[in-house]
């Protein structure tokens, strides 16, 4: 068995030979202790991967086994782990220092491994090298699980080394009526303080409205709440983003290995109690901004109600409706936010289908069209959350601690200063010369020789050049028919082979020529791309 591991979530950068031996496994939860005297090495690895989902006990571990099993694993956890009830302390006393063993303590969220075990890490990827039983499993233990290696058996009886702190994600509060009520209270207070000025009302010409939106949103997230025992709402958003990113990445690997992604059952505690993932945090940000923006419009439309005692509950009811409508409408051409959040909570990636229009990033982009065809494997959709950092406010950041956020701000400042310094230096003459010919033709693409090393990479080179042309055409009137014609010609070209490839190439060049006749802005690039097609025909 080969081990590929790194200490960072989702990053597999090492390739280390590792003999992970068969192992005795002792499992203890709130109800009983179970012992499996000898477990197959790959099944032991799969078992460890199951703990990545933070199951509550043995029954929940069995429920998430299908998410992590591979052709190299037993089909069911009960088959791979012939466990028998035992007395915990006597079972610990039976563990042998000279033989591999592992103790899984659900009560204390802790794993202990003996001195005879092979190399093990809490973040790792294991790959089976058995040709008849291929498999690849990733392990990403939750941050609150302790992981101890090179243990003596008696250490298993000792308490945890750290206090068990599991992130408290209060979805009932964050997504519940408290959100609308809290925002309404802050907004009405701002209105009564005289902030709804004519300058504020001119939303398209003034920054005042946006700044007040940021202030209300920040106050909602950063103000301690009695309902949270004095904690701030922001603290409920964090604690599991990177962990859940890694679990989704594991399921992406399964899909790329032609295995189905498997969701966790909604009945499990790990579904209902888990912290928010990246998509949910980002969509919570967007929900708050949508509600606040709609709330300002409501207040501006009802100026006579601002001083009335019914203003707060009326605005809260309106904001609650805005929240529900927004959560159930399409999000940027994708599925509704409520479905995106549900997929993340079930810990399965969202795969963009070849003909799935709601996942098309840019219907005019030949690069997107090529990626969507599946030529590079499955295409996944996600929300990266970069827009949460645009306000330069820790309150909205995806970083859990202020120290992490300030460290990145410092690194960005250093990087920006270095870029500014470099941009002020004279450009080397040979660099200008090497780019001069290219710059005279292409505006936003650059062809590299490494992109011509295979038919697929050659097609990708063409896609980049065609995207450059289409980018210019989109700014012109009456160009959509030509854009459609060019995309269809490129689609036919890359889906052809043999003699039909030559015919498709000629049709593609004809489409380029005809479009250039109607739009002179692309004449030089059309000629250059036709030359590139002729060059590819000689491969």
Print the SS3 string covering 94-138: HCCCCCCEEEEECCCCEEEEECCCCCCCCEEEEEECCCCCCEEEE
User: Which structure tokens are listed for 351?
Assistant: 């795969």
From 350, 367, 384, give the residue that closes a domain.
Answer: 367
How crowded is the C-beta side of 54, counted as CA atoms within 13 Å?
A: 21
Selection from 348, 517, 358, 374 nearest residue 456 by Cα: 374
The pLDDT value recorded for residue 53 is 96
Handedness of CA 526, 527, 528, 529 (dihedral sign): positive
Cβ-Cβ contacts under 8 Å for 173 (sequence gap 6 or more) = 179, 225, 227, 228, 233, 236
Q: Are residues 223 and 131 in the same domain?
A: no
Q: What is the pLDDT of residue 141?
A: 96
Q: Are residues 137 and 204 in the same domain?
A: no
Write the pLDDT tens digit of every residue in 307-355: 999 999 999 999 999 999 999 999 887 789 999 999 999 999 988 754 4
**Both 223 and 361 in a single domain?**
yes
Q: What angle do CA 141, 45, 118 make, to 5 degrees?
A: 95
Tell me, yes or no, whether 510 lies in a domain.
yes
User: Could you tell me if 306 and 254 lie in one domain?
Assistant: yes
Regarding whether 353 and 276 lie in a shared domain, the answer is yes
Q: How far apart are CA 185 and CA 176, in angstroms?
A: 15
| 150 lies in some domain | yes
Q: What confidence tens digit (pLDDT) does each residue in 385-427 have? A: 999 999 999 999 999 999 999 998 888 888 877 777 776 765 5
Domain end call among 130, 157, 184: 157
Using CA atoms, how far residue 299 sits from 182, 366, 414, 505, in Å, is 15, 45, 43, 60
Q: Given this model, what pLDDT does residue 449 score?
A: 54
Q: How far apart are CA 19 and CA 41, in angstroms?
A: 9
For range 115-134, the mean pLDDT: 80
Q: What pLDDT does 13 receive?
A: 38
Q: Please tell me the distance from the alpha carbon of residue 14 to that of residue 141, in angstroms, as a whole number.
A: 18
User: Are residues 254 and 352 located together in one domain of the fold?
Assistant: yes
Q: Tokens at residue 173, please?
A: 């509060």
Q: How many residues does the chain have?
A: 539
Assigned domain for 164 exists: no
Mean pLDDT, rounded, of the chain: 84
CA 132 to mean position of chain CA atoms: 33
Same domain, 226 and 300: yes
Q: Is residue 166 a part of any domain in this protein?
A: no
Domain range spanning residue 124?
2-157
Residue 354 falls within a domain, yes or no? Answer: yes
* Lowest mean per-residue pLDDT among 13-17, 22-26, 356-360: 13-17
pLDDT band (50, 70, 90) for residue 220: very high
Residue whose pair of structure tokens reads 């790792």 in the numeric block: 124
Among 218, 280, 204, 217, smallest CA distance to 248 is for 280
Let me know whether 404 and 444 are in one domain.
no
Lowest mean pLDDT among 108-122, 179-193, 444-458: 444-458
Residue 399 token pair = 């970083």
**Of 327, 295, 329, which is closest to residue 312 (Cα–Cα)?**
295
Whether 97 is covered by a domain: the verdict is yes
- 378 within some domain: no
Query: Does residue 417 sit in the same domain as residue 439?
Result: no
Question: Rounded to whole angstroms, how far apart are CA atoms 322 and 284?
Answer: 13
Least confident of 2-16, 67-81, 109-123, 384-398: 2-16
Contact of 292 with 184, CB cutoff 8 Å:
no
* Centroid of chain to Cα 164: 27
Beta bridge pairs of residue 127 = 2, 136
Report yes or no: 1 and 20 within 8 Å, Cβ to Cβ: yes
Q: Is the same domain home to 351 and 225?
A: yes
Residue that terminates a domain, selected from 157, 180, 204: 157
Task: Please say whether the beta carbons of 217 and 295 come within 8 A.
Answer: no
The pLDDT of residue 454: 65
CA distance 66 to 265: 11
Mean pLDDT of 459-484: 87
Both 122 and 253 in a single domain?
no
Nearest to 487 by CA among 473, 505, 508: 508
The more confident residue out of 496 and 147 is: 147
Q: How many domains are there within the chain?
A: 4
Write out the H or E segment, with its range, that includes residue 150: strand 146-151
CA 427 from chain centre, in angstroms, equals: 38
Average pLDDT value for residue range 119-146: 84
Report which secondary-structure segment, H or E, holds 147.
strand 146-151
| Strand pairing report for 2-5 and 110-114 | unpaired
Same-domain pairing of 399 and 436: no
Residue 374 counted as domain residue:
no
């Amino acid at each position: 068995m080969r081990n590929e591991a790194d200490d960072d979530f989702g990053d597999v950068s090492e390739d280390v030979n590792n003999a992970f031996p068969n192992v005795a496994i002792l499992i203890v939860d709130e109800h009983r202790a179970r012992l499996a005297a000898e477990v197959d090495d790959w099944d032991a690895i799969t078992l460890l991967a199951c703990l990545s989902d933070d199951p509550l006990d043995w029954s929940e571990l069995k429920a998430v086994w299908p998410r992590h099993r591979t052709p190299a694993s037993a089909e069911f956890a009960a088959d791979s782990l012939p466990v028998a009830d035992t007395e915990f302390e006597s079972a610990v006393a039976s563990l042998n220092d000279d033989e591999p063993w592992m103790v899984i303590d659900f009560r204390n969220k802790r794993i202990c491994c003996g001195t005879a075990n092979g190399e093990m890490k809490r973040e790792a990827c294991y790959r089976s090298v058995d040709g008849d039983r291929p498999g690849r499993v990733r392990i990403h233990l939750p941050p609150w699980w302790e992981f101890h290696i090179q243990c003596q058996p008696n250490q298993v009886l000792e308490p945890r080394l750290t206090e068990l702190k599991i992130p408290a994600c209060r979805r009932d509060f964050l997504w519940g009526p408290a959100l609308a009520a809290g925002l309404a209270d802050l907004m009405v207070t701002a209105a009564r303080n005289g902030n709804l000025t004519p300058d504020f009302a001119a939303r398209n010409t003034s920054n005042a409205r946006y700044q007040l939106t940021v202030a209300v949103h920040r106050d909602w997230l950063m103000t301690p709440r009695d309902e949270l025992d004095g904690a701030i709402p922001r603290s409920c958003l964090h604690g599991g983003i990177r962990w859940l990113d890694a679990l989704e990445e594991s399921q992406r690997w399964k899909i790329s290995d032609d295995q189905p992604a498997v969701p966790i059952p909604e009945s499990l505690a790990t579904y209902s109690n888990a912290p928010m993932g990246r998509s949910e945090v980002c969509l919570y940000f967007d929900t708050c901004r949508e509600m606040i923006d709609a709330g300002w419009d409501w207040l501006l439309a009802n100026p006579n109600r601002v001083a009335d005692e019914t203003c707060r509950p009326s605005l809260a009811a309106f904001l609650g409706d805005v929240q529900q409508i927004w959560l159930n409408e399409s999000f940027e051409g994708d599925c509704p936010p409520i479905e995106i959040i549900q997929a993340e909570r079930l810990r399965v990636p969202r795969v963009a289908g070849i003909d799935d229009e709601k996942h098309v990033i840019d219907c005019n982009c030949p690069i997107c069209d090529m990626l969507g065809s599946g030529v590079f494997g499955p295409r996944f959709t996600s929300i990266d959350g970069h827009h949460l950092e645009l306000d330069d406010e820790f309150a909205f950041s995806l970083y859990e601690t202020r120290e992490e956020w300030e460290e990145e701000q410092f690194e960005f400042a250093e990087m920006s200063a270095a870029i500014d310094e470099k941009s002020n230096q004279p450009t080397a003459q040979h660099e200008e010369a090497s780019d001069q010919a290219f710059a005279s033709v292409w505006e936003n693409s650059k062809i590299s020789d490494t992109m011509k090393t295979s038919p697929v990479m050659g097609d990708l080179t063409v896609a980049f050049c065609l995207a450059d042309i289409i980018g210019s055409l989109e700014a012109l009137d009456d160009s959509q028919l030509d854009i459609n014609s060019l995309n269809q010609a490129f689609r036919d070209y890359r889906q052809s082979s043999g003699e039909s490839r030559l015919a498709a190439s000629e049709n593609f060049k004809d489409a380029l020529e005809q479009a250039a006749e109607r739009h002179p802005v692309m004449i030089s690039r059309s000629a250059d791309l036709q030359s590139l097609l002729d060059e590819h025909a000689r491969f």
